[in-house]
Amino acid sequence: MAASLPLVSALLSGLFPSADITPQEPWYQPEPTVNWQIQLQGSPNTGYAADLYILDLFDTPQNVIDDLHASGRKVICYFSAGTFENWREDKGRFTAADKGRRLGNWPGERWLDTRSINVRAIMSDRIALAASKGCDGVDPDNVDGYSNRTGFPLSYNSQLDYNRFLFDTAHDHGLAVSLKNDLGQIEDLVEYADFAVNESCHQWQECHLLTPFIEAGKPVLHIDYLYGSDPQGHNIHCQHMNSLSFRSLTLPVALDDSYRFSCN
């Protein structure tokens, strides 16, 4: 049985005392009109006119982060905060009890019990790793387990507690942090997150749910997977995205830089 949330919070306070962390406020806050790029597979292409790059925390060479900083760009480091990935260097730290159901179309991934003290300790260390690499922020993915079939009795409130834990930990390390998808909790989390990263809200007719970020002066970085081979559809899509003040890119599902079309 998972530990209660108050117990989790108390234990985590002991595991990660605030005295060991030196906040670097104010942390980076992306502008609402930021030009951006995301690439999670393949050798990073840093040749775009982008001010912000989202790159994989583990796979991105240090010299790529350093070179982007030298040219005045910001780096957001991506990691999955809600799933186990069997190819990550810290995979051995997860226990059998931490791992739940498999993700249907993503081989090697399983949902995590985000109530677990062990899972939270690992994620805290991942955020610390991002800070040590000089990342300007983090993009924690899969933070909506409560609305999926994970194999665990996750609830709206347990997810809210976990996501706030991620945001607070990132800020304690002087890092910006995104809310990745998780549209159902935007009203409760917009004040904690520094920007939103969303995949395909237009496809599911959910983009209106992201407007609290725009109203708060925080960017919505949107990814479209539909219009890579449909220029006319892409143009219409961009008109919609621009009317919402979203920063939208049309990209391959693999996020491997095989093509990129920007609305901005």
Name the residue range of residue 174's domain. 5-14+33-262
**Residue 23, in any domain of the structure:** no
**Residue 102, in any domain of the structure:** yes
**Residue 91, in any domain of the structure:** yes
**Residue 21, in any domain of the structure:** no
Question: Residues 50-97: pLDDT tens digits?
Answer: 999 999 999 999 999 999 999 999 999 999 999 999 999 999 999 999
pLDDT at res. 4: 45
Higher local confidence (pLDDT), 7 or 183: 183
Indicate whether 15 pLDDT > 60.
no
Residue 34 to residue 54: CA distance in whole angstroms = 12
Q: pTM score, two decimals?
A: 0.90
Residue type, 138: V
Q: Which has the closest alpha carbon to 120: 144, 139, 93, 138?
A: 93
Question: Residues 143-198: pLDDT tens digits?
Answer: 999 999 999 999 999 999 999 999 999 999 999 999 999 999 999 999 999 999 99
**Residue 28, in any domain of the structure:** no
Q: What confidence tier does 24 reach under pLDDT thresholds 50, 70, 90?
A: low
Indicate whether 19 pLDDT > 90.
no
Can you list the pairs that 123-128 forms with residues at least 24 positions away whose Cβ atoms lie under 8 Å? 123/79, 123/81, 123/166, 123/169, 124/12, 124/15, 124/16, 124/169, 125/90, 126/57, 126/79, 126/81, 126/90, 127/166, 127/169, 127/170, 127/173, 127/175, 128/173
Residue 200 CB neighbour total at 10 angstroms: 15
Looking at the structure of the chain, the number of domains it has is 1
Indicate whether 11 pLDDT > 90.
no
pLDDT at res. 194: 98
User: 54: which strand partners?
Assistant: 38, 76
Q: What confidence tier does 3 reach under pLDDT thresholds 50, 70, 90?
A: very low
Alpha helices in 2-106 (DSSP H): 5-15, 62-70
Q: What's the N-to-C CA distance of the chain in angstroms?
A: 48
Average of pLDDT values for 232-252? 97
**Residue 185, in any domain of the structure:** yes
**Residue 103, in any domain of the structure:** yes
Question: Residues 96-138: pLDDT tens digits?
Answer: 999 999 998 889 999 999 999 999 999 999 999 999 999 999 9
Residue 222 to residue 136: CA distance in whole angstroms = 19
Q: What is the CATH number of the domain that holds 191?
A: 3.20.20.70
**Residue 155, in any domain of the structure:** yes
